[in-house]
A and B are shown apart, each in its own frame.
Chain A
Amino acid sequence: MLRLHGIIGQAGDPDLAPLLHHLEHEGGIELLFVPPADLGRKRFRLETDRGTDCAVSLDRNEELADGSVLFLDPERAIIARFGEQQVWRLRPFDQAAALKLGWNAGNLHWRVRFAGDVLEVLLDRPLHEYRARILPLLDSGEVSEAGDV
């Protein structure tokens, strides 16, 4: 359990943005998705998208916002995001398609998980923006969408 108290700042704050940008390239950003029902709560316990168990408390006068930075050190930052994590599940047709899909996902800096023969993409933006990036693979049938987002 990682015990966190208080909001350090917002992800867009000028004094935090450079470090967060650096951490993003180093794979050091973890997102804590706060469900709509939990907004306004001053204490909550949730797991980040990478499985870190976070026990969070806020002062009574603090309001969590989308993008609130809850943890920051030279190797890692934890940022609150509102809403449920959307996951886009992609199944490559064969090994060659899997290589192409992996190459695209890596170069696009998508956050992914592996689930058997399915690549799970953790969405931070609208789905159509992701879909547009690999449209040729989808149109050709090399990659298919496995289930609803």
Chain B
Amino acid sequence: MNQLAKDTQSKQIAAARLGIGGPVGSGKTAMVERLIPVLMARGIDIAVITNDLVTAEDAERVRRSGLIDPARVSAVEAGACPHTVIREDPTLNIEAADELERRFPGVELILIESGGDNLASTFSRDLTDFWMFVIDVAGGDDIPRKRGPGVIRSDLLVINKTDLAPHVGVNLPKMHEEALKVREGRPVLLTNCRKGEGIDAVVDLIEREVLFRR
């Protein structure tokens, strides 16, 4: 008998864990707020963890959004540089994810938003199954060329705030092309979280690569 058939008869498969990292102000929380309704509309059972330095600011923002049951949103206070709790010692986030899985046994996907960091930010594989790195055009079109580990190693690079490109002198097609080049063709998607543009493509990728629905 197929191993999956045997296992699914006997136990629940753990929820997938998806990291969302990126520089301060690139739109990580906005991405979470846009992903939630699209994921839920597709019938995906989700929960959220947000990371902040010394507050629960982002968690409160998501809880108050009305998009998701507030009990499904947990906050982790890093107390130090954000990468310390998503890479060096992700114990706090692992415990938070385990706790959400215990409280919501059917949960399929847990979004884990990092605190804002720099281009060297990466997630531990112990914590996430897949992670995206969100940058924005207003941060400068040279960001992909700088080849930061977040840009290079993430499973998905998102270039957000595409609507701002003409206002900040950014050649968006060139930025996109350079991002694909430094990532050797691995996924790069463009979004405008303010208007919800490009979010369906992000969720399509999550469904295929993380949830195995496609």
A residues at B contact (CB < 8 Å): 1, 3-6, 8, 37, 39-45, 55, 57, 59-60, 70-73
- Whether a CB of chain A sits under 8 angstroms from the CB of B129 is yes
CA distance A91 to B83 in the complex (A): 50
CB pair A45 B212 closer than 8 Å: yes
B residues at A contact (CB < 8 Å): 1-4, 7-8, 13-14, 16, 124-126, 129-130, 153, 208-210, 212, 214
17 additional A-B residue pairs with CB within 8 Å, beyond A8-B3, A70-B3? A1-B214, A3-B212, A4-B2, A4-B4, A5-B8, A39-B125, A42-B125, A42-B129, A43-B210, A45-B209, A55-B212, A57-B13, A57-B14, A57-B212, A71-B2, A72-B3, A73-B2
Q: Which residue of A lies closest to B98 (CB)?
A: A60
Q: Which residue of B lies closest to A40 (CB)?
A: B125
Q: List A contacts of B2 (CB < 8 A).
A: 4, 71, 73
CA distance A8 to B4 in the complex (A): 10
CB pair A5 B7 closer than 8 Å: yes
CA distance A70 to B6 in the complex (A): 13
Residue from B3, B7, B125, B208 whose CB has the most chain A CB atoms within 10 Å: B3
CB pair B16 A37 closer than 8 Å: no
Q: 13 A-B Cβ contacts within 8 A?
A: A1-B212, A5-B4, A5-B8, A40-B126, A42-B14, A45-B209, A55-B212, A57-B14, A57-B16, A60-B14, A71-B2, A71-B3, A73-B2
Q: List A contacts of B125 (CB < 8 A).
A: 39-42
Q: Which 5 A/B pairs are nearest by Cβ-Cβ distance?
A: A40-B125, A55-B212, A43-B129, A5-B4, A5-B7
